[in-house]
Every structure is written in structure tokens, then in C-alpha cells.
Amino acid sequence: MNLKVSKSLPAIGFVTALEDESHGYFGGYLVLSSLGRPLEFHCSTPVQPNQAQRILYGPTLRDYVLADLIGQTLLAKSQLPVQAVLTDQREMLGLSLLSDDLVACVESTGSSDLEVEPPSGPSLMLKDYRLFGTPSCLWQPEAFQTLLQSLISHVDLMEPFERIRAAIREAQRMTDPITDEEHGLADAA
Amino acid sequence: MVLPMPLESQPRPTQPRASHQRPDIHSLVGRAMHPEDCEVRELSAVISFEQSIECVEILSRLDDLAAVTVPLSFPRLKTVGMRFPAGSQLLEGRPFKERAPKAAPAICASIAVDSQVIGNEVSGAPTIPPTCTRIRPPRDVVKLEDRLYYLLQPPLEQIFASETLEFPFRPFKYQFDGVAFLYPRNEAVLADEMGLGKTMQTIVTMRLLVQQGHLRRVLLVCPKPLVTNWQREFALWAPELPITVIEGKQARREWLWENAREGVLLANYESLVRDRSCLAAIEEPFDLAVIDESQRIKNAASTTNEVVCSIPRKRSWALTGTPIENSVEDLVGIFQFVSPGCLRPQMKIPNIRRSVGDYIIRRTKDQVLTDLPPKMFRDAEVELTPEQQISYEMAEKEGVIRLQELETALTIQHVFELVIRLKQICNFDPSTGASAKFDRLKVDLEECVASGRKAIIFSQWVKTLDELRDRLQEFGPLEYHGRIPARQRDGVINTFRDDSSKHVILMSYGAGSVGLNLQFAGYVFLFDRWWNPAVEDQAINRAHRIGATGPVTVTRFLAAGTIEERINRVLEEKRQLFSAVFDGTPVRKQGLSRQEIFGLFDLRFPEAGILEEAA
């Protein structure tokens, strides 16, 4: 039963994934209020592509796993509607085709990722970050900036992804007593 | 492959082969020995033999192609999720407004969330500090959901940078760590060294918990002289929290216990013991009970310990700069309040370290305040004046003879009386008033005053302080000890701070060693030594704390060749004990035993084998 409230609230979603060598991809989705306080959180069980899937999905594997499998599932689980969904992984931008939410990828202007040209969608500079989307992302930069104005006065835009990763690691640690180091958990981005 | 064999022009008729007849398949060698014909035609082979021809059909046609399905679908993804109270509130359709504190009477007003004007200029947004202090759940939080609740909170720096909570200044990183430690813990001991801001860390944590709706009613117990200090700190760090001081006549106190239902109740240990019946009548437990200077309950058998442990409460925090003053049993007493059952008497030090590890946070100035001006120790070892020497030797000789005469009636009390007598002679000669320590002190004070600095002089006896007051009139000495009424003490401190003609304050260890901020004093003199090093450290740290603008010079007087030298050795051993519990360094001895007290005078302990902490 989908209890999702139809009208969006002054909340922003953050979605990201962690890649673990032995377990695969873990996803996490955090909804924050405009003050940066947590409202809702979901994380996923790991997705471990097998060899055949790696071969056959080829370079599209990460896009599929992150956006279609993990991102879509997590967003569907969330009951709080949000004004926008931010991610720190370009592969998640495929969510814009799968969800009605406004989706944007956040990258630090000092990040080496920026050397790779972003997709030719909407783009916006906010403080030390560049937000961008794919052509399928239907958001206007000015309106998007207004949406995030309150949040960025309280929250560093990359920080919530750290919270998500910490929570995923904790969830993984609780279900598997091996330490993080032994897991070799590393950011997927 | 077709072998190079002669092919017949006409195929010979083939005959069915009986099942029992096995075909002879000739090898090349065999073919050479037994000529035979062999025909290979369209992947059917006909083998002819000399006697009879037997045709064998070998089915070499490929089977139908078999399709292999490679599964590409991923297993169904499962999720684990949680909703925070604010999120639930939103879903239930209730108007959601994040709690912001009431406007504080401060210089720059807070901007309420709902009236916040959002500008278009991104550059106007406050800068989020780069450091990131996260609240981490303690070990005893076992439910995943509860652990995630803490992990998903914003870093403390973000909360502090936020306009919704206003603080007078930005705390140090280690203070953020202290807040992050206290926040998720129901049972905690904040055991930072004196002067690192335990009060501030506690108040800030309380403020955050109140803002989040976790606290509504708090009881804070402290020594009576510190009540005003706590009030002042609350006004600074959490001005919106209502504070009620439990004081006055019994009827008023009873009324307050019964009716002060919100905010922070501030009580002192003495009145708490008197009001134990009021505590027993409290129906709804306090959301949090904090005891300051918790070494007050180190004696597990004391009435104070019993009453404090009876406070109905959900969370228990203890604050102390000296969790161990004499022996590890002190810690057992404190943990009877913090986490009953966690420690047992006679536990070994490694077990204690393991058991309390997740409950205690302790930082020293050396670890965290690298910018704090240095603290310099000078051990002023003085030779007694001839008058003092005569008095001392006579008193010691007579005293020891008297102790020996007591034989089996000898008690530790008799020994202490002699120790005190000798220590007092080390301060001033009782017949002539001569004092080698005073002579040295006066010289040091002249230098101190000439440089415009202020000095604190500690003694364990008010009588010694009286003597010093009379002799130090030229320095305008102020007094702060047990005979100064509590209502006058704040005024004494203010005068010492603000009056440039007042250079010296005389303090007893009992009254002046805790909770006071005297960082404007650059010199500390320990005219005589206290029984335990923790109290001495507290005294020194009145001056050497955050806000100190210059180095603090600590002068420890010691009369050479006297009982003071022997006691000094014991103090060093106690310091080792403290390090063993909190730093994990090995310890040789665990305090001062009765034998050692008796051993100060080469006396035999009458009840050999029974050890007891003496001081």
C-alpha cells in the first residue's frame, strides 16, 4: 500500500550507494527537512551482479543497478514526498526517467569528476558545488536554487551523503560482525 | 577426415549387424596387415571386410540447438527503513515546524524558522564549518533503528552554525566531541580535567536534547558554592531554559519539588539530603539527573550516595575532574549512581577499564588544549628555620614516643594527629611564628605584584590562612574559605577579579578547589599539601583553565627532611593509580595503606594484614 502523501513537502531527498567488493552495492536514501534534520531513511540489501550480468550489461551495469534497481526501490519505499532528490553519483541520474521527482547530481567544483563533462541537461552552481541533470531532468536552475535555498543555509550539500554512508556501514556491521575494514567498504562514486 | 584408402566405384550392400557382433575397427597398422576397403560418404562410413561386409551407420548429425538461458534479473531488493518523529508528524498531516528556541536576550537575535527571509544571494548563506563531529551511538544501544537515529543526525558543527540555535561562541573541537558523547548516552561520566568546560558541554547537550524533545525536566545537583556558577553558565549557553533553584526554607523547597515540573531544577547536595522525603514522593522520574563534582558520592556507604542514587531518573550523568581521588572504590561509588551493577568492589583494574570504557570520557589539557598557556611547576623545597627545626624535632620525638606507648590502643587517628601537628609546624613555628615558607612566599609575592599579576594561596587550614592574612596586608589579601558566608563569596571573587589593588586571595582547599573560574590569576601557591593529588590539581586548575591569558606558575612548598617529604611520595603513588585506570599504565601500588601511614614514623601496624584507604 502506498501511503505517500501526494503533495510535496519542504523536504529534500538524498540518495547514494556504496560498493563493497564482497557484497556488492548497498543503497541509502535520506529525507531531510529544510533545516537538515532527518525525516526518513531507507537502505537496501546488497545487490551483487554475477559474472553474466557484468558481461551482458557491460558499461551500463552501474547505471542499471544504481538507478533502476536501488534508487527506484528506495524512492518507492519512501512515504514522504520531496521537492527534489539529490545524488552524488551520476549513474543515479537515470532516476529522472523512473520517478516524478526532480533529480540532480551534486559535485564539488574542486572534484576531479568535474573534468568529465556533465550531461547536457540543466546545470546550476551553488556555493562550492555544481548541480546538474540529464536532458530528461526537467528542472529550471533558478527554481531549483530557490528550492534548495533554505537547506544550503544549514547543510553542506555533500554532508548528508556521509550520513547515509555511515548508516549503511552501521546496518552492514549489525548484520555482519566483520569490521568495516575487513569489508573493504568503499564509496561507489 | 578421409583416409587415403581405395574407394570402390560401386557401394556394396550393407547388412544389418547383429547386436552381438562388434565391428572390427582396424587401426592403420591393422589395415596395413589386413587390406580392407573403407568408404566415407557424407559422414557415413562403410567398412568392408574381406569375408563379409558389414555396414555401420554412425549418426553424426547435430542435435537440435539447445537454448541456454542466462538469468539477468536481480534478486528482489529488500529495504530497511525508519521514520523520524518529525517525519511521522508530517505524514499525519499535522503542521510541522522544527523547534526553535525562544528568542534570547542576546546581542544578535535569532531568526525564527517560520519567519526566515530567504534571499536569492547564495553568498549570504552561513558557512558550514569543515570539521564534522558526529553523534555515535553507545554500545548499549542495540536496535538498528535506534543506532541509525543517532548516526543520521546532522553533525554538531552544522547545528551550531545554524541560525536556529544561538551560542555565545564556537566551542572547541574536543567540546563538540564531549557533546556528541553525552547526547546519546543515558549513563555517562564526563571526567575531563578541570578547566576544560564540563559545565558548558553539559548545558549545551541538555539544550540540544530539550530542543529535540527528549528532555523536559532535569535535576542538577552540585555543591552549594557552585549553584550561582551554574546559573551563570545556563544564562550564557542556554538562556531559554527555565532554571529553578531549590533553596530557602523547608516549606518553600517542598513546594518547589512538587511544582517545578519543567526545565532544570538546581539543588545542592546538602539540601538534597535534607529533602530526601520529597524525592521519594516524586512520581514521574526526571528525564535526566546530573551530579556535578560527583566525587561527593564516592563513598558508597554514605548518606549522600544513598540519597543521590534514589533520585528517580531516566538518564544519569556524573561530572567530575577527579573520578578517582584515593582508590578505585571511588569510581564504584560514582557508578552506583551512573550505572548500578556495572562495577563491583574489589574489581581488578583491567576489568574496571573494560567495564567503564563506554561510559566515561576523559580528556586532559595536555591532550586537547595545545594553545593553553603553559603551567609551570616549581617545587619550593625550604629548610625549616632553626626555631621551626627545634619545635619540629621535639614534637616528632615526643609524638612518636607517645604513639609507641599506646601499644595496642594505637589507632590511625593518633597517627594523623601527629601528622597534622608536624605539618602545622612546617607552616609556622607555634612559639615564635617563624616560617621559612612564609619568607619565601613573601619574596615571590612581591615579584608577582610588581608584574601586575594576581596570586591564589591555598592551605588546608583556616588558621594558617588567618596567619597569612595578617602578615600579607600590604598585598590586600582577600579570603575565600569555610568561614566566609556563602552569600558573600561571589562578591569576594568579583573583587579579586576587578579590583586592581587586590593581588592575593587566600583559599582553603575545601572551599576554593572546585567550580571557580580564576583564570585571571597567574600564580598559584600551595602553602601546604593536601592529602590527595586530585584536590591539589583542582586547586591549581582554578587559574589554569580556558581563558587564561598567560602562563600559570604553581609553587608547591615543601619543608625538606620532614613529614611533608614523606607524604609527597605517597601523593605521587596516587597519581600513578589514576593513570593506571584512565591511561592504562601499570601501577605499582594502589594508594595509601594503614601500614604506610604507620610507616611514616616507623611504627608497627597493630592489625597487620588489614588494608584500608587512609585518606
Give the least confident one: A64-68, B36-40, B56-60, B451-455.
B36-40
Query: Is the CB of residue A4 less than 8 Å from the CB of residue A76?
Result: no
Mean pLDDT of B571-589: 66
Helix (H) or strand (E) holding B40: strand B37-41
B-chain residues near A155 (CB < 8 A)? 128, 154, 158
Hey, are the CB atoms on B118 and A9 less than 8 Å from each other?
no
- pLDDT category, B60, cuts 50, 70, 90? low
> Mean pLDDT, to the nearest integer, of B245-256?
93
Average pLDDT in the B574-581 region? 74
Give the confidence band of B34 by pLDDT, cuts at 50, 70, 90: very low
Judged by a CB distance cut-off of 8 A, whether residue B155 touches chain A is yes
Instruction: Examine the predicted complex and report whether its ipTM is higher than 0.95.
Output: no
Quick check: B71 pLDDT over 90?
no
| Partner A contacted by B85 (CB < 8 A) | no
- B78 contact residues in A (CB cutoff 8 A): 44-45
Which comes out higher in pLDDT, residue A5 or B555? B555
Each residue's pLDDT tens digit, B482-520: 888 888 888 888 898 888 888 899 999 887 666 677 777
Query: Closest partner residue to A167 among B126, B151, B163, by Cβ?
Result: B151
With cut-offs at 50, 70 and 90, classify the pLDDT of residue B127.
low
pLDDT exceeds 80 at position B426: yes
- The sign of the dihedral angle between the CA atoms of B117, B118, B122, B127 is positive
pLDDT of residue B421: 92
Number of A:B CB contacts under 8 A?
145
- B191 to chain A, closest Cα gap in Å: 28
pLDDT tens profile B275-310: 999 998 988 999 999 999 898 999 889 999 999 999
Amino acid at B253: R
CB contact under 8 A, B79 and A74: yes
| B288-302, B443-457, B584-598, range with the lowest pLDDT | B584-598
Cβ within 8 Å of residue B559, ≥6 positions away: B381, B382, B383, B384, B388, B426, B436, B437, B565
Calculate the dihedral angle through the C-alpha atoms of B590, B592, B596, B600, rounding to the nearest 10 degrees: 140
Whether residue B91 and residue A80 make contact (CB cut-off 8 A), yes or no, is yes
- Number of neighbours of residue B163 by Cβ within 10 angstroms: 17
CB-CB neighbors (< 8 A) of B79 in chain A: 42-45, 73-74, 77
Q: What are the two backbone dihedrals, phi and then psi, of residue B41, each rounded to the nearest 5 degrees? A: -135, 120
CB contact under 8 A, B158 and A45: no
Cα–Cα distance between B318 and B221 in angstroms, integer? 10
| Type and span of the H or E element at A124 | strand A123-126
Residue in the structure block whose three cell numbers are 536554487? A145
pLDDT computed for residue B38 by the predictor: 43
The single-letter DSSP state of residue B122 is G
What percent of chain B lies above the pLDDT cut of 90? 32
Q: Around B10, how many Cα atoms within 13 Å sit in the side-chain half-sphere? A: 2
Measured CA distances, B491 to A59, B225, B470, B539 (Å): 76, 12, 21, 19
> Which pLDDT does position B99 carry in this prediction?
43
Closest by CA to B575, choosing from B562, B563, B589, is B589
pLDDT attached to residue B515: 63
Residue B412 or B113, more confident: B412
Cα–Cα distance between A166 and B200 in angstroms, integer? 28
pLDDT of residue B354: 85
Does the pLDDT value for residue A101 go beyond 60?
A: yes
Q: By the 8 A CB rule, do A147 and A163 touch?
A: no
Q: Average pLDDT in the B552-579 region? A: 82
CB atoms B81 and A41 under 8 Å: yes
Question: What are the chain A neighbours of B126 within 8 Å (beta carbons)?
Answer: 153
Q: How many CB atoms lie within 10 A of CB B334?
A: 28
Q: CA B327 from chain center: how many Å? A: 19
A18 touching B (Cβ < 8 Å): no
pLDDT higher than threshold 70 for residue B230:
yes
Print burial letters for A15-32: b (CB count within 10 Å at least 16), e (below 16). Answer: bbbbbbeebbbbbbbbbb
The grid coordinates of residue A25 equal 552495492
Cα B425 to Cα B89, B387, B397, B450: the distances in Å are 72, 10, 14, 30
A116 CA: distance to closest CA in chain B (Å):
25
**B514 burial level (CB within 10 Å; 0-12, 13-18, 19+):** buried
Stated as kind and residue range, the H or E segment containing A110 is none
Over range B356-361, report the average pLDDT.
91
Query: How far is the C-alpha of A184 from the C-alpha of A19, rounded, in Å?
Result: 9
Minimum Cα–Cα distance from B88: chain A residue: A39
pTM for the full model?
0.66
Tell me if B411 sits within 8 A of B353, measured CB to CB.
Answer: no
Torsion, CA B268, CA B273, CA B278, CA B282, rounded to 10: 80
The three cell numbers locating residue B609: 594484614
pLDDT single digits (tens) A17-61: 999 888 899 999 999 998 889 999 999 999 988 888 888 889 999
Rounded average pLDDT over B547-576:
82
Contact flag A30-B152 (C-beta cutoff 8 Å) = yes
B79 near A CB under 8 A:
yes
More confidently predicted of A61 and A113: A61
Query: pLDDT class for B457, splitting at 50, 70, 90?
Result: very high
pLDDT for residue B327 is more than 60 = yes
* 3-state percent helix, strand, coil for chain A, nearest multiple of 5: 40, 25, 35
Q: Which of A4, A35, A65, A72 would you mutate first to test chain B, the one with the most B CBs within 10 A?
A: A35
pLDDT, residue A77, reads 92
Task: Report pLDDT for B330.
Answer: 85
| Secondary structure of B538-578 in HEC code, one letter for each residue | HHHCCCCCCCCCCCEEEEEEEECCCHHHHHHHHHHHHHHHH
Question: Quick check: B214 and B234 in contact, CB under 8 A?
Answer: no
Check CB contact of A7 with chain B, cutoff 8 Å. no
Confidence of residue A187 (pLDDT cuts 50, 70, 90): very low
Rg over CA atoms, chain A = 16
Residue B215, pLDDT score: 94
**Considering only CB atoms, which chain A residues are within 8 Å of B70?**
52, 56
Neighbours of B71 (CB within 10 A): 9
Q: Is the pLDDT of residue A2 over 50?
A: no
Determine the average pLDDT of the residues in B599-604.
65
Q: What is the pLDDT of residue B596?
A: 62
Q: Give the model's pLDDT for residue B603.
A: 63
Distance between CA atoms of residues B340 and B192, nearest Å: 22
Q: Are B574 and B615 in contact (CB under 8 A)?
A: no
Flag if B81 and A40 touch (Cβ within 8 Å). yes
Chain A residues lying within 8 Å of B71, measured CB to CB: 52
> Are residues A39 and B90, on separate chains, in Cβ contact within 8 Å?
yes
Local confidence band at B52 (pLDDT 50, 70, 90 cut-offs) = low
Query: Of B420, B363, B375, whose CA–CA distance to B567 is shortest?
Result: B420
Residue B586 pLDDT exceeds 70: no
Task: Please list every residue in chain B whose beta carbon sits closer than 8 Å to the beta carbon of residue A31.
Answer: 87
Q: Taking a contact as any Cβ pair under 8 Å apart, which residues of chain B between 110 and 139 contact chain A?
A: 113, 116, 118-120, 122-123, 125-126, 128, 132, 134
3-class SS of residue B313:
strand
Instruction: Answer whether B77 sits within 8 Å of A39, measured CB to CB.
Output: no
What pLDDT is stored for residue B53 in this prediction? Answer: 65
Closest chain A residue to the Cα of B113, Cα to Cα: A35
DSSP 3-state of B17: coil
Higher pLDDT, B312 or B585: B312
Mutation choice for B interface testing from A127, A154, A155, A169 by most B CBs within 10 A: A154
Percent of chain B surpassing pLDDT 70 = 76
Q: Do B154 and A159 touch (CB under 8 A)?
A: yes
Average pLDDT, chain B: 78
Smallest CA-to-CA distance from B481 within B470, B494, B465 is with B465
- CA separation for the pair A90, A106 (Å, rounded): 9
CB-CB under 8 Å, A44 with B77: yes
Q: What are phi and psi of A34, to 5 degrees?
A: -70, -10
Those residues whose C-beta lies under 8 Å from the C-beta of residue B463, and which sit 6 or more positions away, are: B424
User: What pLDDT shows up at residue B113?
Assistant: 27
Confidence of residue B226 (pLDDT cuts 50, 70, 90): confident
Q: What is the pLDDT of residue B541?
A: 82
B428 versus B443: the higher-pLDDT residue is: B428
Spell out the residues 6+ positions from residue B36 whose beta carbon is closer than 8 angstroms to its own.
Answer: B5, B26, B47, B48, B49, B50
Mutation target for B interface from A9, A16, A40: give the one with most B CBs within 10 A: A40
DSSP string, B357-416: TTTEE---HHHH-TTSPPEEEEEEEEPPPHHHHHHHHHHHHHHHHHHHHHGGG--HHHHH
Minimal C-alpha gap between B87 and chain A (Å): 4
All 3 cell numbers of residue B38? 573403407
Least confident of A103-112, B177-186, B261-270, B506-515: B506-515
Listed by number, the residues of chain B in 157-186 with a beta carbon closer than 8 Å to a beta carbon of chain A are 158, 161-164
pLDDT at B514: 62
Q: How far is A50 from chain B (nearest CA, A)?
A: 9
Nearest chain A alpha carbon to B116: A150
Q: Higher pLDDT residue, B404 or A140?
A: A140
CB of A49 within 8 Å of a chain B CB? The answer is yes
pLDDT of residue B61: 62
User: B86, A33: Cβ pair inside 8 Å?
Assistant: yes
